[in-house]
Structure 1
C-alpha cells in the first residue's frame, strides 16, 4: 500500500500538543488537591474531574489526528470518541484516587501505574486503529518500547501527583508544581507520537526512516520529568526530617523514643531535665526502670502493649528521677510507623506534679471551709449521701451560737472570724472519730453522728464544753450554742429535708432560751409554715398601712415632767390578735421588709405629731428606733428631709435611737449619715447602752444619748 509521507514529529504540531497537555497536567494537580481538601462529596468530585481530564486528552488527540498527515475515516469518529473518552476517564480516576493516599504501598503504586499505562496504551491503539485503519502496520518492537516508555511516564506521574497532593504548604510546592506540570506535559505530549510511530511506517521527505526521533524525544522528556519528583522528594524528606526533629528537640514536654522491646533509643533536652539523667545514661535504659512501684510497672507494661497494638491513650503514673525522688507524669504514647510497619514508640511525658498539687488543693477547698479548715456543707452532703446509699442510720446535729451576731456587729467580722476558728477547733476536739464536724456558714455548724454514737450525749458534751469562755486578743467571751437534732431515717429519708429539720429544731431551741438541744418533731414544720404565712401577711400589712404606733412617755425623774415619747410599732393581726415586736421584727429583717416597715412608722409618727400640734398640745420630742440596715440605704437622709418638709415639721421634734453597734462600727458612710441627721436638727441617741462590748469613749463625738 502506498502511504503518503507524514511529518508526524513536526515541531509546531508537537509544541501545540505539549501546550494542551501541560494545561491538562496543571488541571490534574489542582483537581487532586481540591479533592484532598474536600470535606464531603469526594467521590462525586473525583468522577467529575476525571471526566474533564478525559475530555481534554480526547481533544488533544483530535488535534494529533488532524495534524498527523495520515488519511483517516470520519465514519468511525463517534466510536473513537466513546472508547477513547471512557478509557481515559478510567485512567484519570485511578490516578486521582491513588494520589489521595498519604502513603501508598508498593503493590498499589505498581498496580495503579500499570493500569494507567495500559489505559493510555489501549486508548491510543484503539483510537488510532479506528481512525487510521487503512494505514495501520504494527511494529512489534516499537510497540513494546512505546509501552515501556508510557509505563515510565505513569510511574513518574503518579509519584509526582501523590507528592503534590499531600503536601500542605503551598509556597513549598509552588515552583515544583509548575515545573513538574510543564515537564509532565512534555512527557505526555510525546505519547501519541511514539504510539503512531509503532503503528505506522513513518518516513520523512527524503525517505530516510526517522522512527527513533519520537522515542529519543520521549526518553529525554521522561528523564527530565523523573528529576522533579526525585528532587522534590528529597526536599520533602528533608523538610519532614527537620519538622520531626524540631518536634522532638523543641517539644516543651519530655520525649522518649523507644524500640519495640521498650529500650530507650533517644531523648530530648526536656527528658534530661525531667529525669536528672544524662542523655548517654538514658540511652539503652529500659523505660520500666524509670517507673516507680511494682503496681505502676504492671500498669505501664500493659499500656505499652496496647500502644503497640494501635491504641493511643493518655496514662498517668509516677516517674523515678536520678535523685530517687518521684514526679507525677502524664504519658502520651504513639507508634512509630515506617512503611506500614511499627518500628518503635514515641513517649511524650509531661510533668504534672504541680498540677496534681493544685488539683488536690482545689478539691480540698471545694470540700472544706477556708476559715476553720473543717469540712463544708458540700462535704457533709457527700458523706450523708454515702451513708444513705449504704442504708446506715445516722443523726444530724445543727448548731448556732448565741450572741455571735453581736460580737460581729461590735468588733467586726475579722474579730468574729477568730472566734469562729476557736469554735471550730473546740468542736473538732470533742467529737468522736466516727463523727463529722462541718461549718455550714456564718456561725452555723453541723455534726454528722454515725457509728452508734448517741446525738444527745454529744449535744450535752458540746453544751458543757462551751460553758468555758473563749479568749481572743486578751478578751474573754462566753458563747453558748443552740442545738437542733434530726434523725435518719426516723424523721425523714430525704437528705435535704433532714438538714432543714435539724435547722428547725435548732431555732426551736433558740426560742426556748438557747444553750440546750432540741430534737425535731413534726409540729415544728407547722410552725415554720405559720412563719411564712406571717411573712406574707406582714408584707400586706405594711402595704395597706395596717400597723399602729403606741407612744411610751419619757419622764424626768427629778421634775416629774414628761420630756418626750418613744414610738413603738405594734401589729394587730386579724386572726392572731396582737403580735409582739419580738416576733414580727425578726421576720421583717429576714424578709427584707424592715426598711419599708420603719418608714411606715416614721410617717405615722410625723402624722401624729401634726395632729397633736393642731389640737394645741405641746409636742414632745419623739424617738423612733431605727435599725442598722436603714443606714446602708443611700436615700435615708433625703427621705427624712423630704418627709419633714412634707409634714411641715422641724427636725428638733425627732430623735433617732440607734443600737450601740452602729457607733462602734465607725464606718464613714454611717458616720456621715448620723452627722447629716444632726445637721437638720434630729437628735441621735444610743439604745440599750452598756449591753454590748463598748466603752464611754464612743460618745465623745456625740452631744446627747438616750
Structure 2
C-alpha cells in the first residue's frame, strides 16, 4: 500500500472486487434473514445467540467493505487501516445486535415502521461515513448533492429491507412466501452492496477527464437494485392480500353460525346466508337495520346495548338473548362479538350468532325430568331438597310435612302397579288442590309425599286440611277407595338445622302417627328417637371408635360391563358397634358430620386403605384404582392436599392407585379454592370423581370449570333406568364431549346393564356384580383374577 495522497481525486472501481463485494453482501443479506427468523423462534434462555449472530454479520459486512476499499483504488495508511477495522467492526457488531433485537418485535403501526427504518439507515450511514473518513481521511472532499442523494437512497433501501424482513420472518405467512426468500435476499444484498459505493462517491471528487457520468454510475446501480428489490414484496404482497381476503370471506360466508358485520353505531353492514335463514329477512333487508331492531323486549335491549359497549372497549364474552325473526317469532341465541380492528383502530364489530332454541328446550326438559316425578308431575325429592337448601342458605324457617298413605300397599298388591299408579296420580292432584300455592308438594317415592311449608303458613292447619281431604274416597276405574294419610311434621331450625335429619325426623313423626292409629298428624319430638340408637350415645361411641381405629373398610368392586373385568373398587366405611352390631353409614356418617368427626373419620379410612393397598402389592396383586369418598368439609381443611401427599409418601404409594369421590355440592362455596385443590390432587396422579352426579342441576353449569376425571351417575336414575333413559344418555354424551370418564352406580339388573352399554356407559358398580365386601373377600376376587391371567 502507498502513503498518503497529495491530491484528492475520484477513485476508479475494480470490477472484480465489485463482484466480490456483491457476493459478500448477498451472503450477509441471506444470513440476516435466517438469523432474524431463528431469533423469533428461540426461547429466552438462548437469546445469547444474538451476540454470536451479530459478530458473524459484522464480519461479513467488514469483508464487504474491505473489497469496496480495495476496488476504489485509493491508497490509505496502515495505521488508519487498523483503526478503521476496530471502529467499523465494532459499529457493525453493535448495529447488527440492535437490528436483530428489533427483529423480535412486532411493528404495530406506521410510526414504528418509519422509526425503525430510520434507525437502520442511520446505523448504516454512521458506520460508512465514519469508516471511510478514517481510512481515506486525506482524500475526503464531501459532495453535498451526492451526500444528500446517498442519505435518501439509504433511507429507501432501509424501508424496503425492513418491509421484506417483516414479511419473510412472519411465521403466520412464511409457508406462503418462503419461495421468495432467496430472490429477495439476493436483490436485497445487491441493494446493500451499492450503499458503500454511493457513500464513497459522495466523499470524493471526480478525476479530470472522467466526467460527471462516472460518479452517477453507483447511484444508477442503487436505483435499479432498489427498484427490483421493491417489486419482490409487492409480488407476494398482492397474492397475500388476495389470500387473506379469500380466507376472511370464507370464514364469513361458510361459517356454520350466523355472522353479522355492524358498524360502530350498531347498524348492520353485511350478513352471511345463515343469518338470512335464521332471521327470515333477505340480506338487503338486514343491511341498514340496527341490531337492536332484531332484539325482543326492552330489558333485553338494554342488556345488549351494554354488551355492545363492552365489546367496543375490547371485552369478548358470550351473551344469550332472544332474537326476533321476520315472522315475529323468537329464537333463543348465543352471541359472540369481536371487534374489527384495522391499523389499531376499531372500525366495527363481528357478531357470531348461534341459534340455541332447541338446546334451551332440551335443557329445560332435562331440568324438568331431573326435578319432577314422571308419574304425578309433582316436584320430586331432589327438587324438595334443593328448595330446602335454598331456604337453609337464606336462613329462613320452614316446616316439613311427611305423608304416608295407609293401606296403599294392599291396593297395589291386589290390583297391580298400573292401577296403583292411577291412585297415586289422584293423590297428587288432590294434594295440589288442598295445599296453598306458596307451599311445595313433592312425591318422595312410592306412596310417600312431602309438603314444604313456607314461613307464614301453619303446618298443623295444612295437615288438618289434608287429613280431612282424604276422608273422602278416591275413584278409579269405577271403584271407590278410602285411603287415609298418616302425617309427620318437623320444623327447621327448631327441631334440627341438619336438612337430612329434618327429613328423617318428619319420617319418625309420621310413623309415630301411624302407630297411634293413623289418619292424623304428629309433630316430632326428641322422645321419638330410638333410645337404643340415641344420637348422643352414638356420637361418643363413634368418637371412641375413630380414636381406637375400630372402623373397618369394605370394598365394592367396579366392573367393565363389556369385559366383566374388575376396573377398581370403592372403599366404604363400616362400623360394627359392640352392642348394636353393624350401624348403617346413613346413620353414623351424618352424626360424624354434625359432631365434626368427619375429617378424622375420613383420614382414618384413607390410612386403612393405603395400608391395605401396600399389603396387596407386597402379595403380588395388580391392584386397580381404589376410590375413597371425601366430604366437602375436608376441602375446607388447609392441609388436605398436603396430608394426601405425605400419606402417599409414608406408604410409598403412587397417586395413580387412588381416586377420590366428591359430591356436586362441592362447588356451592369457594369454587376457585376447591378447584385448585382438586387440580393439585390430579397433578400427583389422584383422579377425581363426581359422585351422585345429576342430583343437582346447577352442576351442569359448573362442570366445564371443574377439574375432574369422572362422572358417577346417581343410582336414583339407574333404579328407573328406562324412564330416565334420556337423562342417562345426556350425562354420558356430556361426559364424552368434555372428555370425562363415566360410571353408573346402583346397577342391579341385566336390563340395566344392557341399557347402559347401549348408551355408551361401560363402567358400572352395583349389586348385579357384587355388594360391598370385606377386604379378604375382595382379595379373593383379585386372587381369582390373578390366577386367570
TM range (shorter): 0.5 to 0.7
User: How does 1:153-172 map onto structure 2 within 5 Å?
Assistant: 153-166=157-170, 168-172=172-176
Deviation, 1:486, is 0.6
Matches within 5 A, 1:460-471: 460-467=464-471
Residues 68, 448 of structure 1: alpha-carbon distance in 2 compared, 3 angstrom cutoff = same
- State which of 265, 268, 275 in structure 1 corresponds to 2:272: 268
Alignment partner of 1:108 is 2:112: yes
Helix, strand or coil: the match of 1:210?
Answer: helix
Q: Which residue number corresponds to residue 338 of structure 2?
A: 334
SS of the residue corresponding to residue 401 of structure 2 reads strand
Deviations 1:638-694 (A, max 9, x none): xxxxxxxxxxxxxxxxxxxxxxxxxxxxx99xxxxxxxxxxxxxxxxxxxxxxxxxx
The structure 2 residue matched to 1:238, chosen from 229, 237, 242, is 242
Pick which of 4-13 and 217-226 moved more: 4-13
Does the alignment pair 1:344 with 2:348? yes
1:618-633 to structure 2, matched below 5 A, reads none
Q: 2:458 aligns with which of 447, 454, 476?
A: 454
- Select which of 14, 30, 34 maps to 1:30: 34
- Note the C-alpha offset of 1:223: 0.8
User: In structure 1, how many angstroms separate the alpha carbons of the residues matched to 2:95 and 2:412?
Assistant: 89
Name stretches of at least 5 consecutive residues in structure 1 with no aligned partner: 537-572, 577-583, 592-666, 669-706
State the SS of the aligned residue for 1:453. Answer: coil
Q: Counterpart of 2:373?
A: 369
Give the Cα–Cα distance (whole angstroms) in 1 for the partners of residues 174 and 122 of structure 2: 32
Residue matched to 2:688: none
* Paired residues of 2:263 and 2:348 also in contact (CA < 8 A): yes
Give, in whole Å, the separation in 1 of the partners of 2:15 and 2:322: 74
Other structure's SS at 1:255 match: strand
The alpha-carbon distance between structure 1 residues 450 and 91, as it changes in their structure 2 partners (threshold 3 A), is same
Change (3 A) 1:493 1:530: closer
Aligned with residue 224 of structure 1, among 225, 228, 244: 228
SS across alignment from 1:348: strand
Q: How far is the alpha carbon of 1:529 from its aligned partner?
A: 1.6
The superposition leaves residues 328-362 of structure 1 with CA deviations (integer Å, 9 ceiling, x where unpaired) of: 22222233232333322222222222222223333
**C-alpha separation in 1, matches of 2:112 and 2:463:** 83
Per the TM alignment, residue 119 of structure 1 is displaced from its structure 2 partner at its CA by 0.9
**Is the 2:9–2:204 contact (alpha carbons within 8 Å) kept by the matching residues of 1?**
no
CA distance in 2, matches of 1:445, 1:518: 15
Bigger CA radius of gyration: 1
Contact 1:101–1:162 (Cα < 8 Å) also in 2: no
Following TM superposition, by how much is the alpha carbon of 1:154 offset from its aligned partner in structure 2, in angstroms?
0.4
How do 1:669-684 residues align onto structure 2 when only pairs under 5 Å count? Answer: none
Aligned with 2:200 (options 184, 196, 205): 196
1:597-676, aligned counterparts within 5 Å?
A: none
Residue number in structure 1 paired with 2:136:
132
Q: Is the 8 A contact 2:403 2:486 kept in 1?
A: yes
Normalised to the residue count of structure 1, the TM-score between the two structures is 0.68
Tell me which residue corresponds to 1:253. 257
CA contact (8 A) 1:467 1:478 kept: yes
Distance change >3 Å, CA 442–CA 9, structure 1 → 2? farther
| Native 8 Å contact 2:57 2:96 kept in 1 | yes
Q: For 2:534 and 2:441, locate their aligned partners in 1 and report how far apart those are by CA, in whole Å.
A: 31
Contact 1:486 1:519 (8 Å CA) reproduced: yes
Please give the residue correspondences for 1:313-324 in structure 2 after superposition, counting only pairs within 5 Å: 313-324=317-328
Among 45, 52, 64, the residue aligned to 1:60: 64
Deviation at 1:35, TM superposition (A): 4.1
Distance 1:290 1:574 in 2: 72
For residues 389-443 of structure 1, the C-alpha deviation after alignment (integer angstroms, 9 at most, x for no partner) is 5544321112344566677778876666555444433332321212111233444
Shift of 1:48: 6.0
Mean Cα deviation higher: 407-416 or 431-440: 407-416
2:628 counterpart residue number: none
CA distance in structure 1 between the partners assigned to 2:394 and 2:252 by the alignment: 52
**TM-score of the two chains, using structure 2 as the length reference:** 0.61
Mapped contact 1:100–1:165 kept (Cα < 8 A): no
- In structure 2, what is the Cα distance between the partners aligned to 1:34 and 1:423? 79
Distance 1:525 1:11 in 2: 113
Residues paired across the two proteins, number: 549
Q: Deviations over 1:223-276 (max 9, x none)?
A: 100001122221222111111111221122222222233222222111211221
Match of 2:498 in 1: 494
Specify whether residues 479 and 3 from structure 1 end up closer, same or farther in structure 2 by C-alpha distance, changes over 3 A only: farther
Over 3 Å counting, the alpha-carbon distance change for 1:263 and 1:41 in structure 2 is farther
Query: Where does residue 700 of structure 1 map in the other structure?
Result: none
Equivalent-residue separation in structure 2 for 1:30 and 1:244 (angstroms): 30
Q: Please give the secondary structure, in 1, of the residue aligned with 2:266.
A: coil
Query: How many Å apart are 1:498 and its aligned residue?
Result: 1.8
Q: Could you list the runs of 5+ residues in structure 2 that have no partner in the other structure?
A: 543-576, 589-749, 752-789
The aligned residue for residue 517 of structure 1 is 521
Counterpart of 1:177?
A: 181
| CA pair 495-45 structure 1, distance change in 2 beyond 3 A | farther
SS at match of 1:75: helix
For the 8 Å contact 1:91–1:115, the answer to whether it is kept is no
Q: Which residue of 2 aligns with 1:292?
A: 296
What displacement does 1:510 show?
Answer: 4.5
Change (3 A) 1:405 1:319: same
What secondary structure sits across from 1:260 in the alignment?
coil
Aligned to 1:316, the other structure's residue is in SS state strand
In the alignment, which residue of structure 2 is the partner of 1:620? none
Query: Is residue 13–residue 73 contact of structure 2 (8 Å, CA) maintained in 1?
Result: no
